Structure 1
Amino acid sequence: MVAPETTFAFLYDELEARDATGFVHVGGRFDDTLRYLTRFSGPEERYAFVFVGGDAVLCAPSGFERQAKREFAGDYVYTPDDLRADTPGGRAVEVLEAYDADGTLLVPQAVPHDAAVRLERAGFALESTDVVARERVVKDPEEIEALRKAQAAAAAGMRRAETVLAAADARGDGDALRFEGERLTTTSLRREVDAALVQEGATPRENTVVAAGGACTDRHFRGDVPVRSGETVVVDVSPRGPHGYHGALTRTFVVDSEGGWERRAFLAVESAQQAGLDELAGGADASLVHEETAAEIGAYGFPAGYGDTGFTHGAGYGVGVSRRENPRLPSDARLEPGTVLAVEPGVYDPAEGGVRLGDLVVVTDEGFEYLREYPREFTPRA
């Protein structure tokens, strides 16, 4: 698979429109803006990216010069030996001075304070820009393939969760499930999922959520509770693939359901997700996608707002280098072809549990395409 690359025409256009001399950002490995700009998977140690004079320059951190030259999608890599300054902000200033730059610099809102101070002390006027966030919304073919790869890993992790749940039973232990002789908990099930992700070449990055029963109302649950028969089990898998892009797949299962609240909630969420997907196409209103999803949940008799029960969150969000990025559902965005979204409605009740279903899709001119289809099964398959 061809690794995604960033082209920098959008930065040139933004500088021209804002009458600015350059763009600077400073961050480390977990700064997704910097990762998108550089394609460099370097250390947590901070380093600088500079766009000036039509050139994209990476100031590589010490010990990572060869990796930076191999991975960087831009024009030049400056090593620590090339520069006198010992801070990323200072190195960015040296690069700018080498290009005789002056005047206004554009920076993301997340630029570190100390780097901003160093740039201002060098005489530059800083102005904030969201140009990188805007550029990241629409994915090119290489980015979509990277997302597809991550979603394939997510499907493998989900398949492992489903297999474990299907093999678990509660005989001799009340309603608590056991798997291979051990009590099954959300932590042990999450470990099974994460092991499957790693086998597929993806990184869990502590993004995997496994919740059971009342814990399903917490969309970011990381605790450890028993998995019981008759209770909802939400499995939310968001691995990071080898090129830095994420998958997003969510399913809800129930072992030995008696067909009560959880079955009705599952049908509501399944129908609501389809209603939202049916609204997707180039030019679609992001808020309308959410509204149609919420209306379908309401038609099944569940509240659709932002309280403690019912549909308590947005219908979805963008996915890319970040696990969650623009556009959001709802928002005032018009969806463009090439936008990748996780469409992920849910229904929750602290007394009953929670149901959430989510899939990763790319918006097309006429509708959408799944990046990886995965069955929606209420009862886990062996």
Structure 2
Amino acid sequence: MDHPDDPETEYGFLAEALADTDADAFVHVADRFDDGLRYLTRFSGPDRPYAFAYHDGDALLFPPSLFDEQAEREFPGTTVVGYGDRSEPDPVDAVLAILADRDVDGPVAVPSAIRHDAYARLSKAGYEIETTSAVENARERKTDRERRCLESVERAAQHGLERAEAVLSEATVDGDVTRWNGDVLTTERLRREINAELSRQGVDPSGYSVIGAGPTCADLHFTGTDEIRPGESVLIDLSPRGPHGYYGDITRTFTVGSPDPWVETVYDAVLEARNAAMSVLEEGAGVRAVSVHEAASDVLSDAGYGVGDVSSGFYHGVGHGIGVSLHEGPGLTDDRELRPGHVVTVEPGVYDPDRGGVRLEDLVVVTRDGFENLVDYPLSLTPRAADSS
């Protein structure tokens, strides 16, 4: 893994975790859908269980059989314990054999997400089990390589938004219907155009292209079909995943034709809340995460929108961490200090299930003396044509 833009994992945090828990080794057993294992191994193998172990400074990967070559290419650790073309070994058996060969007889640390059968069998083999959150904690602060991964997928997401704006700007108003290329424009048609562009940019939409229109904007994860009607809000939230496993996240809200006055008023309030949250982040490392949420909440509350009421108003946290999971720590409702390398979304919104919703979302890196916004995208209700600058 020597390409400068490949993600990396530095295993020093596991040595610290073992010292903190008084454990002799760390073990994780899961499959490719476990983001913690993906972070530890950088291995994107099949959906069969495989294992990772760390002992005495060595990081070991136990891939499924027939995946040795891919594992050797992707794994940044010490050793790939391969099996060639032999029959599929049990990953727990393979780990137990290594632990025995290395005379490990003290406690073994595991993440809370380890497979239950693996936990039970390690315990049955006589190992005292210590649960640790070391992996989740390490994932929160991004390295320079991880940041480049996030930047690349965020650029791709912005290309998806550009395609959406082009379609919306070309759409025409026909009474109470919006048409594009002669047919009624729906959220599904728009999603297909966006996802095609995301694929051209080399990222996977991952089922997370959320597009709401009018009332369905109040469904925070709407991926269904709805007609896009003139003047109502069109909320577009894109969260593609790059080939390196890292997600992007960006949201903008538009209208086709003259916006409804309610949409205009809400948009202005959400934009003010977004700017208030960003102002708090300008303090940089050391600022309390929850103070970012409180700044946005105060603006929206003062503007007359309910805060915390799940029926309408602003009823979600203003942001979350992002990495190999779309949602990971830190959350911006946490009562803790932000640190350099934390990458978080800033996404205030206001929703009314009868009228629509507005959300604006950026992705920022916390620095020692401020933040850097990984999003370079205009904030406007009016969609731009494809050739607009």
Q: Give the TM interval when normalised to the shorter protein.
A: over 0.9
TM-superposed deviation, 1:86: 2.6
TM-superposed deviation, 1:93: 1.2
Match of 1:90 in 2: 93
- The CA deviation string for residues 309-361 of structure 1, in whole angstroms up to 9 with x for no partner, is 11010000001111110000101221001110110110000111010000011
Match of 1:324 in 2: 327
RMSD: 1.4
Alpha carbons 2:65, 2:89 under 8 Å: kept: no
- For structure 2, the residue ranges without an aligned partner over 5 or more in a row are none
Quick one: distance in 2 between partners of 1:4 and 1:154?
Answer: 19
Match for 1:106: what amino acid?
Answer: A
Match of 2:278 in 1: 277
Quick one: distance in 1 between partners of 2:98 and 2:195?
Answer: 42
Question: Which structure 2 residues correspond to residues 241-320 of structure 1 after superposition, within 5 A?
Answer: 241-280=242-281, 281-320=284-323
Match of 2:146 in 1: 143
TM-superposed deviation, 1:220: 0.9
After TM superposition, the structure 1 stretch with the greater mean CA deviation from structure 2, 249-258 or 267-276, is 249-258
Match for 2:262: what amino acid?
Answer: W
Counterpart among 50, 53, 60 of residue 50 in structure 1: 53
Match of 1:152 in 2: 155
Quick one: distance in 2 between partners of 1:372 and 1:350?
Answer: 28
Alpha carbons 2:233, 2:259 under 8 Å: kept: no
SS in 2 for 1:29: coil
SS in 1 for 2:10: coil
Counterpart among 343, 348, 359 of residue 356 in structure 1: 359
SS in 1 for 2:9: coil
TM-superposed deviation, 1:103: 2.1
- The CA deviation string for residues 192-230 of structure 1, in whole angstroms up to 9 with x for no partner, is 111111111111111111111111111111111111111
Instruction: Find out whether 1:163 has 2:201 as its counterpart.
Output: no
After TM superposition, the structure 1 stretch with the greater mean CA deviation from structure 2, 74-83 or 326-335, is 74-83
Alpha carbons 1:306, 1:313 under 8 Å: kept: no
Displaced runs of 4+ in structure 1, greater than 4 A? 81-85
Alpha carbons 1:317, 1:327 under 8 Å: kept: yes
Alpha carbons 1:89, 1:116 under 8 Å: kept: no
Alpha carbons 2:52, 2:62 under 8 Å: kept: yes
Quick one: distance in 2 between partners of 1:92 and 1:371?
Answer: 40
Quick one: distance in 1 between partners of 2:46 and 2:185?
Answer: 36
Match for 2:191: what amino acid?
Answer: R
Instruction: Find out whether 1:77 has 2:92 as its counterpart.
Output: no
Match for 1:95: what amino acid?
Answer: I
Quick one: distance in 2 between partners of 1:123 and 1:80?
Answer: 26
SS in 2 for 1:317: coil
Match of 1:187 in 2: 188
Aligned CA distance change for structure 1 residues 278 and 370 (closer, same or farther; 3 Å): same
SS in 1 for 2:378: coil
SS in 2 for 1:326: coil
Quick one: distance in 1 between partners of 2:215 and 2:299?
Answer: 23
TM-superposed deviation, 1:187: 1.1
SS in 2 for 1:251: strand
Quick one: distance in 1 between partners of 2:319 and 2:145?
Answer: 23
- The CA deviation string for residues 47-72 of structure 1, in whole angstroms up to 9 with x for no partner, is 10011121100001122110000000
Aligned CA distance change for structure 1 residues 306 and 91 (closer, same or farther; 3 Å): farther
Match of 2:15 in 1: 12
Alpha carbons 2:21, 2:130 under 8 Å: kept: no
TM-score (norm 1): 0.97
Match of 2:35 in 1: 32
TM-superposed deviation, 1:299: 2.0
Quick one: distance in 2 between partners of 1:198 and 1:221?
Answer: 20
- The CA deviation string for residues 230-285 of structure 1, in whole angstroms up to 9 with x for no partner, is 11111000111121111110011111134411111101111101111111110010
Alpha carbons 1:85, 1:91 under 8 Å: kept: no
Alpha carbons 2:345, 2:364 under 8 Å: kept: yes
Quick one: distance in 1 between partners of 2:307 and 2:364?
Answer: 23
Alpha carbons 1:84, 1:91 under 8 Å: kept: no
Alpha carbons 1:278, 1:367 under 8 Å: kept: no
